[in-house]
Amino acid sequence: MKIDAITKLEKADISGMLVAIILILVAVLALWDTTEMTDADSFVFPRAIAISMISFCILFIVTQMIYPSIEGNDEARVVGGSTTRRIGLVLAMVVSSLLMPWLGFLVSGVLAFGSIMMLAMYDEWTLSRRLLFPFAGIVIVIGFYFMFAELLLVPLPVGTLFE
Amino acid sequence: MIENLLQALTLFHVALALGGVIAGTVIGSLPGLTATMAVAVLVPITFSMPPASALILMGAIYTGAIYGGAYAAILLNTPGTPSAIATTFDGFPMAKRGDGDLAVTLACLASVVGGIVGAVFLLILAPPLADVALAFGPVEYFWLAVFGLTLISALSKGNLLKGLIGACLGLLLSTIGVAEISADVRFTFGSEVLLGGIETVSALIGLYCVPVLIDLVATSDKHLKVTHAPKGFRLIEALQISWTHKFNLIRSSVIGTLVGILPGAGGSIAGLVAYSEARRTSKNSDTFGQGEPEGIQATESANNATVGGGFIPTLVLGIPGTPPDAVILGALLIQGVRTGPSLFAGDGSIVYTFIFGLILATVLMLPTGLVIGRYAYKTIITVPKAMLVPTVSFMTMIGTYSIRNSVSDVVIMVILGVVGWLLNRAGYSPSPIVLGLILGSIAEQGFVQAWTIGSATDNLIGMFFGRPIGMAIILFIAATFFYPMIRGYLIGMRGNPNED
Amino acid sequence: MKIMKLAAITMAAILPVTSAFAGFPEKPVNYVIPFGPGGESDITARHQQSFFKGKFGQDLVISYKPGGGGAVGWSQLNRMKGDGYNIMGINLPHIIVKPKQKNVGFKTEDISGVYMFHYTPDAIVVNKDSPFKSLQDLIDHAKKNPKKTIFSGSGKGTANHLAQVRFDKMADIKTTYVAFKGTGKAVAALLGSQVSAEWGYTSVGAKHSDKVRMLAVAMEKRHPKFPDVPTFKELGYNLVSGAYRGIAVPKSTPEAIRTKLSTMIQEINADPEFQKKMENDGMAMLNVDASEYDAFIKKMTGIYLDAAREGGIIK
């Protein structure tokens, strides 16, 4: 009996169910926030959606309990490769964005570009690459900067450190 | 008319159209740079031009930008504009398996066809079609948004419930910030960062492009598979495919034009509706979403047809069909051009010169689009990974920033990307979330407005289910939603010989 | 470098304040519109743009910071550099009503306006073939069918919405207001007869003159472009309202530059060519300069907050 339950659980879509539980909490949070709204125009739609989301999530969990199965997008579930590099990429993007108001777009852009370049490097750093890649990177960053700031008139942050 | 045609073909106008298309294609291909922005930057330049020339330049940039969005969608899985979402469904799988060049050429052909169909409708049927736009009330917009959402049934392979959950999440995300119509502040939990809500294009970049980057950086595998040496445009192959599916092209172009006429909804919904219809009526509907050329044709022809379609309410009614149209309309107002049916009657020289200019720009898109597309594809497959990943990452950052000049949008974009990546690992694909996010505000506005009018007139049910156009859309929704089940049932009845 | 900078600062301190900024503007001025491109705020800014260069020799560069119905832009106004080269469009009633609803990142007092340069008066707009020939027709209909007279309008807590709330009270009627996203959508709903009338602006009457007519406009005197349309005042309702637009600067902007900007905008406003363009679009001119700004906001705050409370937008 006990073994049965475990094998059943192994077949079930655990991560999918976990997401469903988290989303139920998100929906509850949203519902709680709607209680502060006074205008029906504001709360009718989000309430309807939050309630539907909760029902779909519960329905999903219940079906998984009864007919456990992992179906659909199987390829997407395989996580290969380097997790460190993944996290590094995300950090590089987030940190350089957060530094942008202080360092300005150009400097933080070069920082982001440089660190992501290191993360994405799988070949050997030969001398020519050492010279060429950083140079090309700086040209690309400055080129885009020029295009956005001068041609498209986007007010890119200059950075408070340099004022 | 001939006189207008000749006016459109002056050297100055040809140069404007060519320059506009090239600039537009390049701008559109950069994720985050939208047609609206490209056109807005041009406004001061057009002050010193005659109105018809200004229109030709802005129209050319606009149409080029809509097409340019296909490159990023196909090669990077990043729809530069909401109108190119459905292009990623089949474009990116095609590119992954080594057919990126073919996909880009197909998109170019489809865009030219769509653009011309849209412009021809604008030329001959604008005033009557503008009335169609007015027949669409809040309820019709609501049902149209729901129609867009039915694509979920097609996109969520395996588990429909997960697709529905994803869509709900997207819809809920779309309500964050100051509400469009009730002006209430929702779900910001006191934070200033979320006041402006989640910007749609930055969400698109986050949910589609960041996961690709995350996986790209993790291994040394090539971004796209290269099956053959990149040479030629594969134009003949693309022409053959386009000819085989010419009805798909025409139908999608007409859908694009008609949906494009609807102010505010057109751009984002047209591609989805065309894709959904193409899938429903195709013989190959099972391969949609796995790199089916018909899918690219449907969206790309439809979204370029919305350019002409969107100009119809803009020029006839003075009500902008799409955001770029709003900018163009503003520029015309400053020039002192009054829009209205009179623009098409009597001395219609400005508007007809413009339409011929638009057609010219669309035709010029064929050579320029092929060449730029070729170049984009070659660059993407030859650039070493250590350059490709940082360049694309940097582009997503600068692009996202410049949509609203906001650093927090960039951070939100990355966070959404991580969430999207994690959800995908748990079997929740990003497309339903994106559909919910994009269609959310259209659905909500239509719903709330219809509800208010319906309750004021004590006729809620009649409001939602008793209006002819609304009923027609509901029928299409039912057909699309239940078609896969019915089809599966019929195949089961017949006994599928190919079953393994 | 540092010494040079220091010297420049001392020089500026020694010289009389006015002359330090006498050359203003010496480079392009960045004009932020806290809405997307193509709206009325953008169009009026574009009108100013074409006159700015001619009068002051520098470009007026328009950029957009949309989001939260303007709140995103205004909440960041004071974080911008206060050197006169950063200015932002402001809109009433938005900057008065929004901060009273919830925390939107700025307060009405945080915004240092230098000039209010025009307003687009509210107006009741109906289709050409509407049975409502006069304002009285509409009132009679509304009295007989409470709630069944349906108005479209742009947004909630906006000029349109507050005008509807105020007018309902003045005329002792009950009507339904359906908020649309922007004036364009509200007009489309009217033209398609999804609603019985629109609380719109005089600019709607100007833009769609072939399809609609206005029953009354919320101005002190009749609009020069529409001499046949009565004001609410003439008909016995004291309603003068609309969407007011102006320009603000970051708090840190020196007094001398504020005054200078104020006179510059005034100069554009005084140009007959500019006035003609604005009035042709259905707008009405307004001249509230930097010194009168605070008093003006105070007066409008009283009116708007009463209406907003009435309409249930704020508690």
- Looking at chain B, which subunits does it touch, using at least 3 CB pairs closer than 8 Å as the criterion? A, C
Locate the chain B residue with the closest alpha carbon to A14.
Answer: B426
Return the pLDDT at C14.
46
Q: Which of B183, B329, B452 sits opposite C176 (nearest CB)?
A: B452
Least CB-CB distance to B330: which of C42, C101, C185? Answer: C42
- The residue with greater pLDDT, C14 or B244, is B244
DSSP C73-103: HHHHGGGS--SSSEEEEEEETHHHHHHHHS-
| C166 to chain A, closest Cα gap in Å | 18
| Closest Cβ–Cβ partner in B37, B164, B186 for A37 | B186
Per CB-CB distance under 8 Å, the chain C contacts of A41 are: 156, 179
Mean of pLDDT values over B155-169: 85
Q: What pLDDT shows up at residue B158?
A: 63
The chain-wide mean pLDDT, for chain A, equals 86
Is the pLDDT at A72 greater than 60, yes or no?
no
Segment among B100-104, B107-111, B279-283 with least mean pLDDT = B279-283
The reply to whether residue C179 touches residue A163, judged by beta carbons under 8 angstroms, is no
pLDDT at position B105 over 80: yes
What are A's interface residues with C at a Cβ cutoff of 8 A? Answer: 38-39, 41, 153-155, 163
E-state strands within B17-168: none
User: Is pLDDT above 60 for C7?
Assistant: no
Q: Is the pLDDT of residue B495 over 60?
A: no
Chain A positions in Cβ-Cβ contact with residue C161 (cut-off 8 Å): none
Rounded to the nearest 10 degrees, the angle between the axes of helix B85-94 and helix B293-317 is 160
Among C30, C179, C315, select the one facing A155 at the smallest CB separation.
Answer: C30
Q: Tell me if B452 and A41 make a contact (CB, 8 A cut-off).
A: yes
Listed range (A7-11, A13-17, B68-72, C207-211) with the worst mean pLDDT: A7-11
**pLDDT per residue over B399-457, tens digit each?**
999 888 889 999 999 999 999 999 988 889 888 999 999 899 899 999 999 999 999 99
CB contact under 8 A, B33 and A97: no
DSSP assignment letter at B208: I
Q: What pLDDT shows up at residue B92?
A: 94
Residues of A in contact with C313 (CB under 8 A): 39
Answer left, alpha or beta for residue B177, where phi above 0 means left and psi between -120 and 50 means alpha: left
> Whats the size of chain C, residue-wise?
315
Average pLDDT of the residues in C80-105: 90
Per-residue tokens: C228: 């046949």
> Closest by alpha carbon to B214, among A110, A94, A139?
A94
Domains and CATH numbers, chain C: 27-119+243-310 (3.40.190.150), 121-217 (3.40.190.10)
Q: Do the Cβ atoms of A153 and C313 come within 8 Å?
A: no
- Of residues B224 and B266, more confidently modeled: B224
- Of the candidates B185, B320, B445, the beta carbon closest to that of C184 is on B320
Q: What is the pLDDT of residues C220-255, one digit of tens each?
A: 999 999 999 999 999 999 999 999 999 999 999 999
Nearest CA-CA partner of A93 in B411, B78, B193, B401 = B411
DSSP codes, C260-310: HHHHHHHHHHH-HHHHHHHHHTT-EEEEEETTTHHHHHHHHHHHHHHHHHH
Of residues A77 and B380, more confidently modeled: B380
pLDDT for B308 equals 93
% of residues, chain A, pLDDT over 90: 54
Cα–Cα dist B102/B370, whole Å: 10
Alpha carbons B293 and B337: distance in angstroms, whole number: 42
Q: Calculate the average pLDDT of chain B.
A: 88
The pLDDT tens digits for C67-89 are: 888 998 999 999 888 999 999 99
B469 touches chain C (CB under 8 A): no
Chain B hits for A156, CB-CB cut-off 8 Å, are: 398, 401-402
Separation of first and last alpha carbons in chain C: 56
* Residue among A38, A41, A154 minimizing CB distance to C179: A41
Measured N-to-C along each axis, helices B385-404 and A127-146 cross at an angle, to the nearest 10 degrees, of 20
pLDDT of B467 > 50? The answer is: yes
Enter the tokens of residue B334: 């400053």
> How buried is B97 (Cβ within 10 angstroms: 0-12 exposed, 13-18 middle, 19+ buried)?
middle
pLDDT at C123: 96
The Cβ-side half-sphere exposure at C86, using a 13 Å CA radius, reads: 20
Structure tokens at B180: 């469009």
Give the pLDDT band (50/70/90) at residue C11.
very low
Please report which confidence band the pLDDT of residue B231 belongs to, taking 50, 70 and 90 as the band edges: low
What integer pLDDT is reported at residue B498 of this predicted model? Answer: 46
- The rounded distance, in Å, linking the Cα atoms of C184 and C202 is 13
In the predicted model, is pLDDT for residue A7 greater than 70? no
Q: Which of residues 111-150 of C touch B (CB under 8 A)?
A: 147-148, 150
Q: How far apart are CA A20 and CA A16, in angstroms?
A: 6
Q: What is the share, in percent, of chain C residues with pLDDT greater than 90? A: 70
Contact A154 C63 (CB under 8 A): yes
Query: What is the model's pLDDT at position B472?
Result: 93
Q: What is the pLDDT of residues A116-131, one digit of tens each?
A: 999 999 888 888 888 8
Task: Specify the pLDDT at position A58.
Answer: 96
Roughly what angle, to the nearest 10 degrees, separates helices A83-119 and B210-218?
A: 90
C254 in contact with B at a CB cutoff of 8 Å? no
- Distance between C99 CA and the closest CA of chain A, angstroms: 16
Q: What is the pLDDT of residue C104?
A: 85
Mean pLDDT of B69-94: 89
- d(CA B41, CA C59) in angstroms, rounded, equals 13
Domain boundaries, chain B: 2-494
pLDDT digits (tens, 9 = 90+) for C14-25: 444 444 567 888
Residue C255 class from Cβ within 10 Å (0-12 exposed, 13-18 middle, 19+ buried)?
exposed
